[in-house]
Amino acid sequence: MTPTKTDFLIIGSGVTGLFLALKVCKLGSVTIITKKADYESNTNYAQGGIAGVFSDSDHVEEHIQDTLTAGAGLCDPEAVRILVEEGPSKVRELLDIGVPFNKDSQGNLDLGREGGHRKNRIVHAMDRTGREVENSLLEAVKSQPNIEILEDHACVDLLTRHQIPDGDKLYPLRCYGAYVLDTSDGEITPILAKRTILATGGAGQVYLHTTNPSIATGDGVACAYRAGAKVKNMEFYQFHPTSLFHEHGNSFLISEAVRGEGGILRNHLGHPFMIDYHEMKDLAPRDIVARAIDNEMKKSGQPNVFLDITHRSPDFIQSHFPSIYEKCLSLGIDISKEPIPVVPAAHYMCGGIETDLWGKTDIENLYAAGEVSCTGVHGGNRLASNSLLECLVFSDRIAMDIKNSGKIDFAPESKFIPKWNKEGTSNAEEWVLVAHDLYEIKSIMSDYVGIVRSDLRLLRASRRIQLIREEVKNFYDRTTVTPGLLELRNLALIADIIVRSAIMRKESRGLHYSTDYPENRNPSREDTILTT
């Protein structure tokens, strides 16, 4: 099909993509592509809230210190300061847009506390903050005539000099847009853009158990890596300590806010075990809590632990955690009377595409923000509720950088980008055989590259993932492109990147815990960087 053009191509429709679209639509036309419905994103599944300094009893330096402490000595201090100082004004913009954040009886923001925070600073909308933010931003975006949202569209690959004949010899490395698959009819079209922004979220589907939606398949990192961008610190994958353990729970997230309001983790004997692991007990940083749960499960042989909030009144529980209460009750668990069975699940990708403090990658005209990026704010472990904050702050900074860059034109060589060539491909009957690779990837990553790792496990995982990648590549090269095949291709690459990154880090730090190396929390800027 004939290439289409837009000033700004945003890949992803979570809070990063939507907030950025509202900022740049005044500068030109905006096209947002999203794999599923416009509201389907990691943002929509975020229960907890957004961290920020809004109270007179709290201070910027305290939020910074909590972030640095949680990050296990690997955070970029300058990036953290930008996050904390610029964050509150962006949250107030959400208030102006209409996000219904909870307020107290005096009309002030009702501030909660979550793991790793030493002050109450979490702005929330009941236990469905992400959904409320997403809905409010979508409503605002849809009122702007300069923004087009293409649902059921997936990025196949970024457009760079690699697609232009002799382009690697003739042109610098810059992004011209993307090949985009319309999943409704199977057509692949080049969308040319003056600026392309990756806002695709994480890759939780690389593990068997995840709190992420099915679309979280690492597409942005995989596409950027194939195009030649640097990816950084991908060994740091955060496991949320408390996802619901139930055969029909689908790894439903039990928000950090439950512990923030007094929830106590207990083992199968009823012992409140976090007192044995950290001075902050149940409100310790996530990496510590997840490892503690993992250790308790291994010691007891039990498949889960329990989160107990029964000491709070039923009215309090139902008013503060309506979604969690209703979900658990639908599965026969009354959380006002019995503890919640929980287990850690893959939750957040702390590494990602390397960017500067303005969201720029090392590919000209390509930006990234949110979970897909690695700005340095999370280090070796993300502090609770800093994720949506990062989305807001760095999407705003991308918009400022674009605005300050002056007049923008299409790169002249973009006219040489070819149409998608699907000759020689067909729908293969052996798809079921290759689809088995997806389950194998998830199993390998969960068994060998999870909360606790070792050199032996990582090397075993590496050998198997490499074989799967070869199978998937061979299949991809001779098969008609489908959404499932794109996701399998991306997840195989993401798994390989995570494993290689983990092998390179010869220490235990934050979310990367190896039985072969002692833990290190001294400040360090030793990043793990991979590129093609």
CATH code of the domain covering residue 159: 3.50.50.60
Q: What is the pLDDT of residue 360?
A: 98
Range of the domain at 498: 431-480+482-512
- Whole-number mean pLDDT of the chain? 93
Domain membership of residue 146 (yes or no) is yes
Domain membership of residue 15 (yes or no) is yes
Structural domain ending residue among the three candidates 369, 386, 416: 416
Tens of pLDDT, residues 188-209: 999 999 999 999 999 999 998 8
Catalytic residue, from 131, 161, 266, 286: name it: 286
Q: Let me know whether 47 and 178 are in one domain.
A: yes
Q: Let me know whether 93 and 134 are in one domain.
A: yes
Domain membership of residue 62 (yes or no) is yes
Instruction: Round to whole Å and give the CA distance between 390 and 494.
Output: 22
Structural domain ending residue among the three candidates 329, 344, 359: 344
Domain membership of residue 518 (yes or no) is no
Residue 190 in contact with residue 3, Cβ under 8 Å?
yes
CATH code (residue 263): 3.90.700.10
364-401 b/e (C-beta count within 10 Å ≥ 16 → b)? ebbbbbbbbbbbbbbbbbbbbbbbbbbbbbbbbbbbeb
Instruction: Round to whole Å and give the CA distance between 73 and 90.
Output: 27
Q: Does 469 have pLDDT greater than 80?
A: yes
Domain membership of residue 198 (yes or no) is yes
Q: Let me know whether 87 and 19 are in one domain.
A: yes
Domain count, the chain: 3
Q: Three-state SS for 75?
A: coil
Domain membership of residue 68 (yes or no) is yes
Query: What are the angstrom distances between the C-alpha of 222 and each of 49, 225, 231, 277?
Result: 28, 5, 9, 37
Tens of pLDDT, residues 471-493: 999 999 888 899 999 999 999 99
Tens of pLDDT, residues 261-298: 999 999 999 999 999 999 999 999 888 999 999 999 98
Q: Let me know whether 145 and 231 are in one domain.
A: yes
Q: What is the pLDDT of residue 395?
A: 98
Tens of pLDDT, residues 113-149: 988 899 999 999 887 888 899 999 999 999 999 999 9
Q: Let me know whether 49 and 153 are in one domain.
A: yes
Summarize the confidence of residues 245-274 as an average pLDDT.
91
Q: What is the pLDDT of residue 429?
A: 67
Q: Let me know whether 261 and 378 are in one domain.
A: no
Q: Let me know whether 142 and 286 are in one domain.
A: no
CATH code (residue 446): 1.20.58.100
What is the H or E stretch that residue 242 is in?
Answer: strand 237-244
Tens of pLDDT, residues 38-60: 555 555 455 568 999 999 999 99
Q: Does 251 have pLDDT greater than 80?
A: no
Q: Let me know whether 147 and 223 are in one domain.
A: yes
- Band (pLDDT 50/70/90 cuts) for residue 366 is very high
Domain membership of residue 92 (yes or no) is yes
Q: Let me know whether 218 and 247 are in one domain.
A: no
Summarize the confidence of residues 506-528 as an average pLDDT.
94
Q: Let me know whether 122 and 205 are in one domain.
A: yes
Q: What is the pLDDT of residue 39?
A: 53
Structural domain ending residue among the three candidates 344, 368, 403: 344
Q: What percent of the chain has pLDDT over 90?
A: 83
Q: What percent of the chain has pLDDT over 70?
A: 96
Q: What's the pTM?
A: 0.92
Residue 121 a catalytic site member: no
Q: What is the pLDDT of residue 99?
A: 93
Q: Let me know whether 142 and 26 are in one domain.
A: yes
Q: What is the pLDDT of residue 372?
A: 98
Summarize the confidence of residues 329-356 as an average pLDDT.
96
Q: Let me know whether 138 and 260 are in one domain.
A: no
Which tokens in the block code for residue 148?
């087009």
Domain membership of residue 522 (yes or no) is no
